């Protein structure tokens, strides 16, 4: 029985979140782990493809303690007690090999911004969505590609910027470059305005750093 339980642990993926670890971003972790809340649940990827990562990112809503988790093919919302209260599929197809890694997960100004590694223009599925934190539903808008495919690395930060000479918050995204076909459409560095409303994730002409293959390291 015990062996079976152990076997199940290794064969199924579990997201483990330690509350004090999350708060530890802002405060010092003290005490031992058995005194802290732990949440655990499966991320059911029915895939024959090799899954490199299963939990990609998490963010905490500081006012409410709610936690958003970006995983492969799913986004999860947990309440402050780390109980799963919502989830939404981000899979872009139904085939077994379909894997959509979460590449960007940002809470900003009452919106949850997500970008996945896959997109399907024909099916109207875009890489990046501005979602309602309440139910994780995306706005369905089409946006230019800003993140790399598959497991290639992507880094993002929200930082101050300027638009038309005025201060504005921007999302900066950097991706590893590849000369592969299709890939060249993904700029190595982009920035997007995070102004609530119609211009959300809008990019001005100067907001994409167009670097050719000769001045970008092949990572
Ligand atoms: C960790 O906490 C548990 C529960 O409070 C306690 O029984 C245990 O002795 C503690 N372990 C250490 C190393 O302090
Ligand atoms: C998503 O939420 C539904 C409804 O609460 C639940 O039945 C389902 O198991 C959840 N899916 C995952 C992948 O956790």
- What's the CA angle centered on 202, arms 198 and 205, to 5 degrees? 140
Q: How far is the CA of 213 from the centre of ligand 1 (A)?
A: 55
Name the closest ligand to CA 31: 1
In DSSP terms, which residues pair with 171 in a beta bridge? 158, 192
Q: How far apart are CA 182 and CA 150, in angstroms?
A: 13
Read off the pLDDT of residues 84-130 as tens digits, 9 standing for 90 and up: 999 999 988 888 778 899 999 999 989 999 999 887 766 667 889 99
Q: How far is the CA of 33 from the centre of ligand 1 (A)?
A: 8
- What's the CA angle centered on 206, arms 165 and 164, to 5 degrees? 15
Read off the pLDDT of residues 39-48 as tens digits, 9 standing for 90 and up: 777 787 776 7
Residue 118's contacts (CB-CB under 8 Å, 6 or more residues apart) are: 92, 98, 99, 100, 101, 125, 127, 149
Cβ–ligand 2 contact at 44 (below 6 Å): yes
The confidence band for 33, taking pLDDT boundaries of 50, 70 and 90, is low
Would the pLDDT of 179 be above 70? no
Order of strands, sheet of 102-108, starting from the edge strand that comes earlier in the sequence:
102-108, 111-116, 128-131
Q: How far is the CA of 87 from the centre of ligand 2 (A)?
A: 6
What is the reported pLDDT for 23? 38
Cβ–ligand 2 contact at 87 (below 6 Å): yes
What is the reported pLDDT for 215? 44
């Amino acid at each position: 029985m015990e062996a079976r339980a152990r076997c199940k642990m290794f064969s199924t993926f579990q997201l483990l979140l330690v509350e004090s670890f999350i708060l530890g971003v802002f405060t010092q972790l003290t005490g031992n782990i058995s005194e802290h809340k732990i949440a655990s649940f499966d991320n059911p990827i029915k895939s024959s493809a090799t899954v490199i990562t299963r939990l990609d990112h998490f963010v905490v809503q500081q006012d409410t303690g709610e936690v958003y988790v970006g995983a492969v093919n799913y986004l999860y919302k947990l309440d402050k007690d780390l109980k799963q209260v919502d989830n939404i599929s981000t899979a872009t197809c139904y085939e077994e090999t379909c894997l959509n890694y979460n590449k960007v997960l940002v809470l900003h100004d009452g919106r949850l911004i997500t970008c996945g590694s896959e997109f399907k223009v024909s099916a109207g599925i875009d890489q990046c969505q501005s979602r309602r934190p309440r139910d994780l539903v995306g706005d369905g808008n089409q946006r230019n590609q800003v993140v790399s495919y598959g497991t290639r690395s992507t880094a993002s930060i929200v930082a101050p910027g300027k638009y038309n000479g005025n201060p504005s918050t921007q999302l900066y995204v950097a991706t590893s470059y590849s000369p592969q076909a299709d890939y060249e459409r993904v700029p190595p560095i982009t920035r997007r305005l995070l102004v609530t409303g119609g211009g959300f994730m809008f990019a001005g002409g100067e907001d994409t750093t167009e670097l050719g293959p000769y001045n970008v390291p092949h990572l």
